[in-house]
């Protein structure tokens, strides 16, 4: 059965989150007098991934996730800073501007004419709304779902139940979940019994425990799957 419904992740799938994150961290740390280098950015990135996965697995709350990633970064690099204030500043910078993943905007323009697109994002509502507006991507989607507004995070059943209940004539056999994250996008698709497409532009290894139906490294590969 051909796919009719495409559920797209946003960060590092449609929009280039790594670039946005790097710029926002550099500006935030500068404001607080905290040193910032490529090595320090890697430390932050490691803790950010760690705590988002704890959030996705319901081990931490959203507030714990957002604050602990900075607290543990500061502890490792020997810096002083209030994680609450730093996180607030970071989110303001993160909300400004946007960058697209290569080929993503052209892909949305084309595929939105033939399929029903829905945007599913883990993230802060304040940040994501501004990034969506800046990039203009919401015009391609029939529905936009941000975890903070939904009240549940990917890959939870609660999040996907909210999405599914808003899609007319939902049929999981006609749905494809698309994203870069194994732990939120692919696992979420696995949880609802839908097919999954792993967008993997960075060539990451597939981890055990995830069922991936398709894997592409660029958006050119999507056309062969959908036609």
Q: Is residue 11 annotated as part of the catalytic site, yes or no?
A: no
For 52, the token pair is: 């988002």
d(CA 13, CA 9): 6
- Chain centre distance of CA 224: 24
Q: Which residues share a beta bridge with 198? A: 179, 215
Helix (H) or strand (E) holding 188: helix 187-192
Nearest to 148 by CA among 65, 77, 212: 65
Place of tokens 């989150």: 17
Nearest to 216 by CA among 199, 204, 203: 199
Q: How far is CA 70 from CA 28, 67, 89, 147, in A?
A: 11, 6, 12, 21
How many other CB atoms sit within 10 Å of the CB of residue 102? Answer: 12
Q: Are 91 and 126 in contact (CB under 8 A)?
A: yes
User: One of 9, 11, 180, 195 is an active-site residue; which one?
Assistant: 9
The set of catalytic residues is 9
């Amino acid at each position: 059965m051909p796919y009719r419904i495409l559920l797209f992740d946003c960060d590092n799938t449609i929009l280039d989150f790594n670039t946005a994150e790097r710029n926002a961290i550099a500006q935030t740390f500068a404001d607080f007098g905290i040193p910032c280098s490529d090595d320090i950015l890697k430390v932050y990135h490691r803790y950010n991934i760690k705590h988002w996965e704890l959030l996705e697995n319901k081990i931490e709350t959203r507030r714990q996730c957002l604050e602990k990633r900075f607290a543990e970064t500061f502890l490792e690099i020997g810096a002083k800073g209030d994680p609450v204030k730093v996180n607030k500043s970071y989110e303001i910078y993160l909300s400004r501007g946007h960058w697209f993943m290569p080929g993503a905007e052209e892909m949305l323009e084309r595929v939105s004419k033939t399929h029903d697109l829905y945007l599913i994002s883990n993230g802060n509502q304040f940040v994501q709304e501004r990034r969506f507006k800046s990039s203009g991507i919401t015009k391609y989607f029939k529905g936009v779902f941000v975890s903070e507004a939904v009240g549940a995070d990917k890959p939870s059943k609660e999040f996907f139940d909210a999405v599914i209940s808003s899609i007319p004539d939902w049929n999981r056999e006609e749905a494809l979940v698309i994203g870069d994250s194994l732990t939120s996008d692919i696992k979420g698709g696995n949880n609802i019994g839908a097919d999954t497409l792993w967008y993997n532009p960075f060539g990451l290894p597939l981890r055990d425990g995830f069922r991936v139906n398709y894997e592409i490294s660029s958006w050119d590969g999507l056309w062969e799957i959908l036609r």
